[in-house]
Structure 1
């Protein structure tokens, strides 16, 4: 190989290191952004368990750097440490991608957990080494200005890689459908894996241009021995020094003692940082779940909750030049915020206000969360499909008026396993085009503990009021955020045959439900169907009329709906009811 001049070698080495860090940050931030939602929606952990797993993973990512630093400074050197841990990192990425492919029939939880462990080890091992390895490529003090420029570019690259990863990973996960699902986590995890492979490739091809240093002493071991000796001597002797590390004088090198004093001073400055970072990293867990409980539509654009974390690197990319070039020079004229500690304190106050505002927001959101049945309780939705108002005399609240085509929920009903209740339905003798011979009817409803049941009040072919109990609301699975809808078709005089219900959205997705002709059953109910959120065109046709009904309606994120269709003398009357709204999520 022809040797290259230092200038060209320096440029290639720095480019490889910066490109490596960009790809690694893209990979890590992209995976981290969609991790919480993946744990909740695909692996079906609860939000609390998902939060714990996420933060244990992040804790591992920030504990392993201690091991990575020891390996780099005492044993392998920074190049080999970065390379070896990066390979472990890549294996974790590949495992996460494989776990998200259901057709492989591998245990997704086990593969995902193992993948996260490998990623935590890999990124932790790399984290303390890359910036220091880049600094080693410069000759000091001759290239002090270049070194400063490098660290500015390096930090900018970190945030740029994180910014791009946080934007693209949720988009790729959501924009592509795969394996029968409307999301594709295999692609969401696979693309970061490809970026990690590219990161390793770029790092390795630059080997011939790097300045490599081999560790000559075990600095971490020396720090530990010196600190232990100084602490033990300080406790055993009555002689007092200005600093407790001075007790190691005569036993250890003065330069080492002085360096340890600097480290101790820095550690004191870092004391509040664990509290800050424990709150800050909730962006990837609690704040992401909080975003999933809100409507993500902004000026006609749907913001994916995973992308909420994009705000941080975006603000960093904008505020770094803004503060350096505009705000700090202006403040300096008035003698304000010239001290770094003052700037950190102001930033801490602003961060505290942000956490406080997030708590206030959660209190507001809690008022919109659905009331789900707890132990020894149940709920019943009563839907009035008749063309007149009904009076429901019941043991829960006495008398309840339910308007035509409306729904009412009886909440927090006492229930032990299965409990039967008797209610009286009172209707006017003339109910729209219907005429009843008697207007009071006794109905029995059965409630089930922890369950939300739906009772449709309609009529049977003999023009008598009848209650139809459908399958319970499947609100647990709606945690995936995809709207769920079922179709209830109440037959009348059997004048319509081969009734078809077609739901079609703007993207061309079409779902068709066929109502079976039956002379015995008065009610036909479909299973829950999961459809992407959006506006749907509903068309109902039969052999007798191809255009029985046409109407558009909107299926919101996190909603569970019932589309109630009642046949009435050769026509259909249609209403769509929101049975429960778990939350808005995309």
Structure 2
């Protein structure tokens, strides 16, 4: 799925802000492809108690021309020497303060948030539904190789996460949250519509162009609004008076994400596979179209709530401010390194930026140094939607009365997350503490190791799967099959080394999978029979080219010159549906029908002189020729079949089903262990990583931290693109083991980095040097009628 918490209510949303200012966008933590893992909301409420801050913004308050860090404020009751004989404690719990203030005036729950929650449900349904079937669409409909489809999938995911930072900056610096969500949602809709139109075959549109343009617009829209929606919901509340209500909002918001992703991940594969449209066994227009309709509905719902929204103007973006600080420090150091040496390279920014900001950036950089190894985890995690889905297509999803679709297995991740998160505090973490794993960085390391173990398991599964794969023609070799629909054996003679002379059994097939052909070979052959009842003799020639499978059909009533050749397909079908053909020794205009034995519907219909492979569902079929029953056949996912039919002496038909390629035999449920281990690792890695990061970073830097967390997901997808493009191995199992090895090596490096990491004490208060001389703090003027609730900067 994607990554870890789709919505973690961060401190930037919760603090009270002046009515004229907007709380900065929260860069929501990465999501699971279907459902997010999220830190318990009560922990976030506790974290909020520690600091109530002004919006992290690029404040224009200046001292001597220096940009200042946004002023930290706390609104607390006036300290009293004693209350009921007890000393009043300044660090009294934040929730108690909020409750005390709420007694003065209880604010109603904002109705506007229900429009936001409904909007989020529809948008997540669209995103996860489209993403679930994407790699199969790229490989089946666009004909991309698995490596190419994997690259496109991860490039798309990479841009979604890179553009999250773009959306946050646009929202905080220019458009504000409402306009950013609205405008980028329109872009999102355009992308979804283009993707749907491109999938409709009869329109004859340039499918590849529409698909790529659609994905680009979806990445811009989805990535751009991702950090804005939860923050916009937080803006609807007044904090601290509504701190309990905002916690319940985030619970509902998180539920809407889970509901949208779970339903779409389950339903969209059904729309894709169980519905036929436009003469195709799969219905990708419906699989893309239904989520697109939900996206349109989400925008309509969002606009309907406009009159109820509290819209705050953009107040600047901390990511921009931090980036500017770092850039100033680097450029100034290049100029003054020799003439004005400093203890730390960030100190070179002190001519333009305030000391507190520089010190906070120093702490931030120490935390971000630990982020360097993190992308490798996301490289493994996000392959659930690509490599693991392709792996599932080569497995048997038949559960008897129902089938598990290959892409449908992705629903395991969100389901397991919902099970695991409550269990971690009561079961998993106590168990880990027994073996000495108690600290956050230790837990994060354990999560990464679990991801590596998951890929070892997937590699072992792949090794067993490879035993079921068909033998394919390789360089300077061909495969030869001769199908005989006659009641007598045939003798085949040729000028091809290894196939000089052989016998083809009556009503059967001869197969040779390893014949040498340098580049191409002009085959000259003769077919004859010693049976006086056959009266068959045929001489012909055929140009055979290397690395291909060639089939010769001997069918006197249904062919020119008694025989015909066809370049054949012998690999497992990428769509996992069985491929079938019928070769019948009957008059060429006879009609052959395959009818589903259980449902009674016609799977396909053809004339007897047509022998192309046709996709059908895994099922039992009744075969009829001109309405006369031939018999029943069973075909299964992943198999390639040829049905031979001939008339018998009684006026009926004899048939034999030849298995050219064995169907999938390994049950798809063997993939469950790797999903379980990966999800265990995800919750431990992501939730622990976020909690540790928030605890270590200065309060003003948390939005920057979120941006960088999202970027680790983006860079993780870059790693997959590089390795997939390199095509280092012929075996997919080897690639899985490579990723596992990278993960273990990465965690070894992380352990060393964590060992030398010096934790930051978030409770330690920095000494603030009093402002002297002409260094006057310019507080931006408040709107008329607004009370100044902040503290003087020198307090």
TM-score normalised by the chain length of structure 1: 0.82
Among 409, 431, 452, the alignment partner of 2:549 is 452
The superposition leaves residues 35-77 of structure 1 with CA deviations (integer Å, 9 ceiling, x where unpaired) of 1111111122222222221111111111111211211121122
Alignment of 1:254-273 (within 5 A): 254-273=355-374
Among 489, 499, 506, the alignment partner of 2:584 is 489
Among 272, 277, 282, the alignment partner of 2:378 is 277
Q: CA deviation at 1:249?
A: 2.9
CA distance in 2, matches of 1:169, 1:534: 21
Structure 1 residue aligned with 2:659? 578
Distance 1:141 1:551, change over 3 A: same
Distance 1:397 1:369, change over 3 A: same
Distance 1:353 1:240, change over 3 A: farther
CA distance in 1, matches of 2:366, 2:294: 38
Structure 2 residue aligned with 1:564? 644
1:32 matches 2:112? no
Q: CA deviation at 1:88?
A: 0.8
Structure 2 residue aligned with 1:290? 391
Q: CA deviation at 1:391?
A: 7.8
Q: CA deviation at 1:273?
A: 2.5
Distance 1:98 1:501, change over 3 A: closer
Q: Which moved more, 1:472-481 or 1:190-199?
A: 472-481
Q: Contact conserved, 2:483 with 2:510, CA < 8 A, in 1? A: yes
Alignment of 1:101-500 (within 5 A): 101-217=200-316, 219-234=318-333, 236-237=336-337, 243-324=344-425, 326-328=427-429, 330-331=430-431, 338-385=438-485, 395-396=497-498, 405-415=507-517, 416-422=519-525, 446=542, 448-449=544-545, 450-456=547-553, 468-474=563-569, 478-490=573-585
Q: CA deviation at 1:456?
A: 4.3
Q: Which moved more, 1:50-59 or 1:222-231?
A: 222-231
The superposition leaves residues 7-58 of structure 1 with CA deviations (integer Å, 9 ceiling, x where unpaired) of 4343x23333332222211110100111111111112222222222111111
The superposition leaves residues 513-537 of structure 1 with CA deviations (integer Å, 9 ceiling, x where unpaired) of 555xxxxxxxx55444443331101
Structure 1 residue aligned with 2:160? 61
The superposition leaves residues 122-141 of structure 1 with CA deviations (integer Å, 9 ceiling, x where unpaired) of 01111122233333344444
CA distance in 1, matches of 2:371, 2:134: 28
Q: Contact conserved, 2:470 with 2:571, CA < 8 A, in 1? A: no
Among 485, 498, 508, the alignment partner of 2:600 is 508
Corresponding residue SS for 1:111 = helix
The superposition leaves residues 218-238 of structure 1 with CA deviations (integer Å, 9 ceiling, x where unpaired) of 544432331122234445436
More strand by percentage? 1
Structure 1 residue aligned with 2:744? none
Q: Which moved more, 1:58-67 or 1:25-34?
A: 58-67
Distance 1:258 1:207, change over 3 A: farther
The superposition leaves residues 268-296 of structure 1 with CA deviations (integer Å, 9 ceiling, x where unpaired) of 23222322222222222222111111111
1:74 matches 2:158? no
RMSD: 3.7
CA distance in 2, matches of 1:119, 1:413: 49
Corresponding residue SS for 1:229 = helix
Q: Contact conserved, 1:565 with 1:574, CA < 8 A, in 2? A: yes
Corresponding residue SS for 1:370 = coil
Q: Contact conserved, 2:591 with 2:606, CA < 8 A, in 1? A: yes
Distance 1:379 1:213, change over 3 A: same
Q: Which moved more, 1:232-241 or 1:280-289?
A: 232-241
Distance 1:130 1:296, change over 3 A: same
Q: CA deviation at 1:337?
A: 5.0
CA distance in 1, matches of 2:282, 2:455: 31
**What number of residue pairs does the alignment pair up?**
552
CA distance in 2, matches of 1:469, 1:303: 39
Q: CA deviation at 1:359?
A: 2.2
Distance 1:512 1:185, change over 3 A: closer
Distance 1:255 1:557, change over 3 A: same
Unmatched segments (≥5 aa) in structure 2: 1-104, 669-795
Structure 2 residue aligned with 1:520? none
Distance 1:26 1:513, change over 3 A: closer
Q: CA deviation at 1:162?
A: 1.5
Q: Contact conserved, 2:469 with 2:572, CA < 8 A, in 1? A: no
Corresponding residue SS for 2:600 = coil
CA distance in 2, matches of 1:247, 1:233: 6
Greater relative contact order, per chain length (Cα 8 Å cut-off, separation 6+): 2
Distance 1:309 1:126, change over 3 A: same
Q: Which moved more, 1:13-22 or 1:390-399?
A: 390-399
Unmatched segments (≥5 aa) in structure 1: 516-523
TM-score normalised by the chain length of structure 2: 0.62
CA distance in 2, matches of 1:110, 1:497: 41
Q: Contact conserved, 1:43 with 1:109, CA < 8 A, in 2? A: yes
Distance 1:540 1:101, change over 3 A: closer
